[in-house]
Structure 1
């Protein structure tokens, strides 16, 4: 998919010699079953595609594994390839891959030409391994404020999480509960990554959830599609939240969306690698960064927009306080 970049120089005999620079290689590993979620993974793909358009000299390899086992094999095979002069970046686009990184790389060194970028991790590793995390605490705090207002602060809310192991979605849960300041129940769709691709299960569960809760805060990736589908098919449905992108068009019950501008962020990282060859060791991006936000849906802007803006700085302050309190 890439093009070789050629440089030409004049020799003492006025003959031109072509020197071929090593073609940089970008390997991109999406979360298992993630592509096509019309959300987080598809937005990542948009950023990668834009990068490829602007940096055509980079060879791009995209993988969408069916399981964590397949993903581990792809990553392991790449690690074991002998060192070359070719600059290579392996990008793992899911926090589910954190255990794989620790299994295969902790205590080991990458060859000098290789670098690794791990999404949605706050951990710091050895040189050559970079991480970043988009914190949803502040944006979810504003979602909680919204939920409290729309339910008159007297009702309880349900938080639907993909699983009970993924740190970033639990941070979103903490932010929502802090903003809501009421009774919140939490349920999990699975014990592993399959909770992100369980739309049919979420759809079936909605009948029960809809009878018990006036507001649902779902952080379950592609599984959220089942929740939104139910809300379109049945008149009696709780208020909802969109996730990762503006999903207000999917249901009239979506009060707003926790938006991650992951396409812009991944483009920034990839372009830094392509031009400078280095990446920051570990970065956290919260509400103040502009890479994540809470956007009120058009149907609710008249009632809720001013409320959200009045609490925005508080959300930023609460997010900072959360991390100060939880850092070791």
Structure 2
């Protein structure tokens, strides 16, 4: 992660502290011309992952194109629904207005009786495979199965693998879990255990529990983290315990600059995909109601940590060569592409 991104994340953290919980909508860029409103997931910003990555891309786009930008950070789904209704009914002072709903948890808000929206307004819903949305509503889906399959395959020589996930009822992470488990099982014949931090979305914001779970795992474990902001607890444990043998996959962004026990990261190129959509929206050239892509499309990638062996203190014999993780990537990449294609063609 470069200095510019670190500075931007710091700026976002400061912005979050400047507004009270009751002040849901924050106007961050000027208030005239085309406008973008972002409703974050209930996990909010500051996770150094998915939410931050989305907002970084949006704030750069809005600044570059001189757009009005507002941010809504709901505490729960009900509050998000209220913000959606307010946006629909509010008088539009812009020639065009876009509402970005940055989570699959909001998919159920778009029912058959969803109200008609003004022709100057559009909605973009993240992490939804639906193609029959109401007029003016677009969907975007990053397919994680193939990249997760590759991550599982690359960890196949690790004696034990675990998925630490936020909760069991999130369709987005469930696909990633299936991919990782299948890749690990196909390559090793073993089963990766799933550990859920909560029964609901609270699992995305509980780094303390994630820390405790990580502490309880075997010293030779491999962890595939799917817990949003709670992932910080996992990374904190391995950062504080320099002699641990636990390995952790980076998630959403390239985590190699921060955590020495991260041999590779699953990277979401959501900022690039989003900027492509926003360019088309601004120019009035949106054609497809639904956009989707995975490993084979470059929407999701796995990045090997090239400096892994420069920073670790302890390691296992099975990965004692400098090019080990790159060789595992090369060995299993095509099988992951094939698995992705087979899974989504069902």
Q: Do they fold alike, i.e. is TM over 0.5? A: yes
CA distance in 1, matches of 2:269, 2:287: 19
* 1:156–1:226 Cα change, 3 Å: same
Q: Does residue 1:322 correspond to 2:326, yes or no? A: no
The TM-score normalised by the length of structure 1 is 0.85
Q: Which runs of structure 2 are paired with 1:199-278 in the superposition (5 Å)?
A: 199-210=207-218, 214-234=221-241, 235-276=243-284, 278=286
Greater Rg by CA:
1
Q: Classify 1:107/1:93 alpha carbon distance in 2 versus 1 (closer, same or farther; 3 Å).
A: closer
Counterpart contact for 1:195–1:223, Cα < 8 Å? yes
CA separation of 1:184 and 1:33: change in aligned 2, threshold 3 A: closer
Give the aligned partner of residue 328 of structure 2: 307
User: Structure 1 residue aligned with 2:54, among 33, 44, 53?
Assistant: 44
SS of corresponding position for 2:128: coil
Partners of 2:62 and 2:35 lie apart in 1 by 11
Offset at residue 281 of structure 1 (A) = 1.0
* Structure-2 residue corresponding to 1:109: 116
Question: What does 1:65-144 correspond to in 2, within 5 Å?
Answer: 65-82=74-91, 86-102=95-111, 106-124=113-131, 125-144=133-152
Count of aligned residue pairs for this structure pair: 299
Task: Determine the C-alpha separation between the residues in 2 that align with 1:3 and 1:110.
Answer: 21
What is aligned with 2:316? none
Detail structure 1 runs of 4+ shifted over 4 Å in the superposition: 82-85
1:25 match = 35
Q: Note if contact 1:28-1:61 (Cα within 8 Å) is conserved in structure 2.
A: yes
> Which of 180, 191, 203 is residue 176 of structure 1 equivalent to?
180
User: Could you tell me how far 1:306 is from its partner in structure 2?
Assistant: 2.3
Residues 154 and 332 of structure 2 are in contact (CA less than 8 Å); yes or no, is this contact kept in structure 1? no
Tell me if structure 1 keeps the 8 A contact 2:39–2:100.
Answer: yes
Alignment gaps of 5+ in structure 1: 5-22
In structure 2, runs of 5+ residues without a counterpart are 1-28, 310-321
RMSD: 2.0
